[in-house]
Structure 1
Amino acid sequence: MVDADRVAAVRERMPPADDLADTADVFGLLSDPNRLRLLVALLDGELCVCDLAAVTGQSESAVSHALRLLRAHRIVAARRSGRMAYYRLEDPHVRLLLDLALAHTEHTEALHPERDGNA
C-alpha cells in the first residue's frame, strides 16, 4: 500500500527535473575512467597538460580534449602562465565527490559482474 504522506514528502524535496539532469551530467563526466584519472591527479594541485598526460598515461591530445569538456562543465579551471595552462579542480564539491567515491571503493568490496561478463 502506498504511503501517501511519505510520497508527498519525498516529492516535495525532489529537485526540479533540470537540476537532476545537470547532476546526471556531472556523474556522467565522472563515470569515464580516463577523465576520472585526470581529476584524481588534480586532487594534489594544479598540473599542466603535459604533466597530466605523463601521470595518467594518456596522450596530450586526449588530455586536452577531456579537459575542454571538464572545463565547459566548470569541473576544472585553467590558469595561464605564459604559453602554459595549469588546470585545477574548480569546485570543492567535486573534490568532496571524488574523496567520498575513492573512500567508498577503498572500504567496500564491490562486486562488478559487468566486468566479469556476467551482466
Structure 2
Amino acid sequence: MVAPLQKHKEPQHVENEAESQLKEAARLFGIFSEPARLKILRLLRDGARCGRDLAKDLKLTPATTCHHLERLKLANLLSEKRSGKHIYYSIVDSELAQALERSIEALHGHAGPDEKAGVQGDS
C-alpha cells in the first residue's frame, strides 16, 4: 500500500512574512498611485527642498503640495527639517527611490501609447 501524498506546508511564520510584504507593497503602491507624489520623489532625488519650491515646480497650490508631502511622510518615505520659516523635505531611503525610478522606467516600456503620457520625466 502506498502512503498518500501530503501537501507541503510552509511554516506559518513564512506565510505571515510573505503576506506582510505583500500588504506593505500594496500600501506603498497606493501611495505611489498619485502622479504628484511620484513627481515629488523625483524632485527630491538630488536633495532636500522646501515645500514652497516644490509647489512652484509642481504647479500645485501649497495646500495640495502639503497634502501630498504629508502622505509621503506618513508612509515613512520623507523626512522633514525646519530651517527658519521653511520646512525642507528629503527622501528617507534613497535605495527605495532608485527602485521606484527603475520600476517607472520598466513599466513605461509596457504601457500602451495613450498610457505613456501619464508620468514622464521632470517637467
Question: Which residue in the other structure is 2:79 paired with?
Answer: 77
Unaligned segments of structure 1, at least 5 residues: 1-6
Unaligned segments of structure 2, at least 5 residues: 1-7, 117-123
Question: Which residue in the other structure is 2:112 paired with?
Answer: 111
Identity %: 26
Report which of the two has the higher share of helix. 1
Work out whether 1:19 is the aligned partner of 2:58: no
Task: Measure, in 1, the Cα distance between the counterparts of 2:23 and 2:104.
Answer: 24
Relative to structure 1, is the Cα distance of residues 18 and 112 closer, same or farther in structure 2, using a 3 angstrom cutoff?
Answer: farther
Residue range with higher mean Cα deviation, 47-56 or 14-23: 14-23
Residue range with higher mean Cα deviation, 23-32 or 92-101: 92-101
**Do 1:29 and 1:35's aligned partners in 2 also have CA atoms closer than 8 Å?**
yes
Where has structure 1 moved over 4 Å in runs of 4 or more? 112-115
The size of the alignment, in residue pairs, is: 108
Question: Which residue in the other structure is 1:96 paired with?
Answer: 98
1:20 deviates by 1.8
Relative to structure 1, is the Cα distance of residues 113 and 54 closer, same or farther in structure 2, using a 3 angstrom cutoff?
Answer: closer
**Do 1:41 and 1:52's aligned partners in 2 also have CA atoms closer than 8 Å?**
yes
Query: What letter matches 1:39 in structure 2?
Result: L
Larger radius of gyration between Structure 1 and Structure 2: 2
RMSD: 2.8
- Of the two structures, which has the highest relative contact order with CA contacts closer than 8 Å and spacing of 6 or more? 2
1:25 deviates by 0.6
